[in-house]
Structure formats: structure tokens, C-alpha cells
């Protein structure tokens, strides 16, 4: 059985008639999604493309445009697979810092460590 036979059989099983499938377009789109986003993005992207095409009663040219938008998004994806969004990270902050981590208050005459050269600091005080 080849891919065309599979598509015909699957369409019959899903009660779909007169469906055009651009295997090359789907292969390119899912390859980019899997590579740039993560492996499971490939089937999810193909599924959502189908949902969008169906919801918009899209013609083949419109499906190509939707796929191009999805592919552009995947190509520009800048988060590595498995990366967690900052909003999703729970960082537990203690109510009090452990002893030794709190510095003593700095007085006016105390030196404060800095990366600036000493002569620059001296000019600021004049």
C-alpha cells in the first residue's frame, strides 16, 4: 500500500469526499515544525492546518496560504524543544534569607565594591 492508497482509504473511513491532499506541502510543513519546534509539533500542525482549512471551507490555494503562514511561524520559532516559558516556572522565594547572606548596612564612609575605576569614583565625590 502506498501513500495515495492510504489517503483514499482514510478518506473513506472518515466519510470524506472529494478531498485533495498535497502530500509535498504537508511533508514540508511537518518537517519544519518537527525540526524547529519539536517532534510532536508535526502532527499537531498538520491537524490544525486541516481544522483551519475546514473551518474556512478553504480551496487548495487558500490551504497553501495557510500552510505557508504555519511554516513561516515554525521557521521563525526561537524556543528550543522542551523550553519552558518563564510564566510557567514557579520559583519558591523564602520569606527570610539564611544567615550570612544579608550584608551589613553600608555607611557613608564605607567603600562599595564597583567595576568603575577608582578615579571615576573620586570625581563623582568632588
Of the given ranges (54-63, 87-96, 100-109), which has the lowest mean pLDDT?
100-109
Torsion angles phi and psi, residue 7, rounded to 5: -60, -45
CA torsion angle for 6, 48, 14, 58 (degrees, to 10)?
A: -100
| pLDDT tens digit sequence for 15-24 | 999 888 999 9
Of the given ranges (50-59, 79-88, 102-111), which has the lowest mean pLDDT?
102-111
| pLDDT tens digit sequence for 65-82 | 999 999 999 999 987 666
| pTM, 2 dp | 0.61
Amino acid at each position: 500500500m502506498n501513500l495515495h492508497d492510504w489517503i483514499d482509504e482514510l478518506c473513506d473511513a472518515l466519510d470524506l469526499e472529494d478531498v485533495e491532499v498535497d502530500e509535498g506541502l504537508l511533508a514540508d510543513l511537518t518537517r519544519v515544525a518537527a525540526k524547529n519546534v519539536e517532534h510532536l509539533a508535526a502532527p499537531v500542525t498538520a491537524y490544525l492546518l486541516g481544522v483551519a482549512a475546514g473551518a474556512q471551507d478553504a480551496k487548495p490555494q487558500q490551504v497553501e496560504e495557510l500552510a505557508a503562514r504555519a511554516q513561516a511561524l515554525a521557521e521563525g520559532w526561537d524556543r528550543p524543544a522542551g523550553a519552558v516559558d518563564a510564566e510557567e516556572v514557579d520559583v519558591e522565594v523564602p520569606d527570610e534569607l539564611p544567615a550570612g547572606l544579608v550584608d551589613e548596612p553600608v555607611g557613608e564612609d564605607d567603600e562599595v565594591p564597583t567595576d568603575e575605576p577608582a578615579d571615576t569614583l573620586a570625581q563623582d565625590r568632588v
